[in-house]
Structure 1
Amino acid sequence: MQLMPVDPYPVSRRWRLTGWLLAAIWLVFLNVALSRALAQEELWRRVLGVGSLVAFGLAYIFAFEWGRLMRRAGRPIPRRRAWTILGALVALGLVGIPATGGEWMSTLVFVCAAAIFLLPLRPALVVVALAVVVPLVLGRLVPGWGSENGIVFAVLLASLAMFGVSRLAQRNAELQAAQQEIHRLAVAEERARTARDLHDILGHSLTVVAVKAELAGRLLELDPARAAIEIADVERLARQALADVRGTVGAYRGVSLGTELAGARTALAAAGIAAALPDAVPELPTERDELFGWTVREGVTNVVRHSGARRCEIRVGSDHVEVCDDGRGPAGEPGGDGHGLVGLRERARRLDATVSVGRRPDGRGFLLRVAVPAAGR
């Protein structure tokens, strides 16, 4: 069974040693009890007193370090094990009574500090209350132990200080857990973005490559010169797709409406689909230009791959872009969203734009429309 949990946020060896020293330095307040033990004339009393105090100090440091690692790991401190540790501390303090006399009660200060650090607030307050009562009662009942008002004050002060330390440790653990969650979500978002971009890029490029390769195969015997031209285009498109993938991985690739319109003209021509494209496009903000470019790319990819259309028209305005055809729509399912349309909706959401997918109002084809609200102009 593993006694000490693994530190989920490991630090340098020097800072780890510093943490141990911060826990151990407070043990200097056991000096009076230690001096009392060393002053004993009988050897067995000296050995018992010094041994019990050393064991007490090591147990306290262990308790502090164990509780700290549990908090940093974001794991609840097992109640039974915490009570066992506190019981061991009390027992070690009591064992030293033959050598330390009434000074053993100085160990109650550390018992209370450990209780505050390891237990929930209410049980910890019960321990503190008992530690306050014990010195007052025993100081009057046991001859020679005298008044222990100083111990009572030390117990209350140590408990208050450890309450602040424990709350600080808890907040730090929560902050570290939040940072880890933010990092995890950022990584997940970046992976989703990369996957979406790769799908959009390769889906479009490979669709055109497949269409041109099929055309070249048909022309190989009928028109070898034209087939060679189509094969050269396949090679060029493959190299461009590879460059786009590298650009996406390096986060340097950009999409523009003008570039995508030019690519759409080539893709539609290769597929034998009549194209009606605008000769000029309005000046658009960078983000809107990129969104409209992605819309053209996704729309044309679906037209070429799924629609069975004979004609495709692209219309561009300052606040909208439309890709319409006279075919049946993606996979024969109007309104069906593939990965590309899901990615397009995610991009549109960033600009509060709306994505409309479905049959044309006249029922004679399929329409993809992305519109930016008037407030975004």
Structure 2
Amino acid sequence: MMSEKVTSNDVARLAGVSQSAVSRVFTPGASASKKTVAKVRAAAEQLGYRPNALARGLITGRTRMIGLVVAYLDNQFYPEAVERLSRALQARGYHILVFMAGNDTANVAQVVQELLDYQVEGIVTASVAMSYDLTARCDAAGIPVVMFNRGQDDPRLSEVTSDNYGGGRQVAEYLVAGGHSRIAHVAGWQGASTGRDRARGFIAGLAAHGMKPAAVVDGMYNRDTAVAVARDLFSAPGRPDAVFVGNDHMAFAVMDVLRHELGLSVPGDVSVVGYDDVPIASWLAYDLTTVRQPVNRMVEATVDALAAFIEGDDDEPHKIRIPGPLIQRSSARKPEGWTP
């Protein structure tokens, strides 16, 4: 037989306090004396009471829940970023609902509708596109959306990214300074602002030296696609002597093809530069030269922007670009005396 559910009134009677005192003890940010807290928590533990956060949110209008929508976790950048985002939001007293959505419009719309049904107070999207109609739906509901590591031409949306254009340009400068003359680019997905901006910066950086890329091919941020592109690019006559790969996830695949399938030396025959600086980039097996995404600062800016919306401190959308350094390792020829 199921036992009757323990209520806050039961806890109040046992603790010898009012029901409102019990409510304050279990409400983040509410005030209660240490003596009251101790009595209430002891009574709750004895009775096995657990507060219903969803029900309290319906009453107060504050669920303190944030929806975190992620496109994919294959790229090692995202598990790290999601963990840091979750910890930072939890440190502010928010609860996190994580949903996988991909970039299919219908799938994203369904996930966002579920989050609205949960009455989240804000949404963070990590490399997920928002349609105009979907943004309008969130806007009408008063739910702020902050895009993490993805930009979009919509003045209603806040976004936080690294300086992708500047990063791509920095790679071009580095490879030119290293004496390379046939420099290719395995680009990130051109349907995403990150891929487009890194490619634009890279091409502009070469143009500043009177050069054009040997090839620019969309690697789709996909490992298998990057493998196929690398085989085509480096099996042909007049192969590139350097390649900028749109993220580390693809760069590892390119390096594997160069070394283990084509028998080329990295960086003796081909210099390779990535983007992200995920933990494996520093492993000796790859020791990848790459542009570091400033994840800590990106997370901090994302959480600050979302909290400002929710708390009513700032309701203006912001487009935030944070520069990151190029990390020199052994996968690319090091220019003598090079400084960014």
TM-score category of the 2 structures, normalised to the smaller one: under 0.3
Flag the structure with higher strand content.
Answer: 2
Q: Which structure would you say has the larger RCO, counting Cα contacts within 8 Å and 6 or more residues apart?
A: 2
Flag the structure with higher helix content.
Answer: 1
Scaled by the length of structure 1, what TM-score is found?
0.23
Structure of larger gyration radius: 1
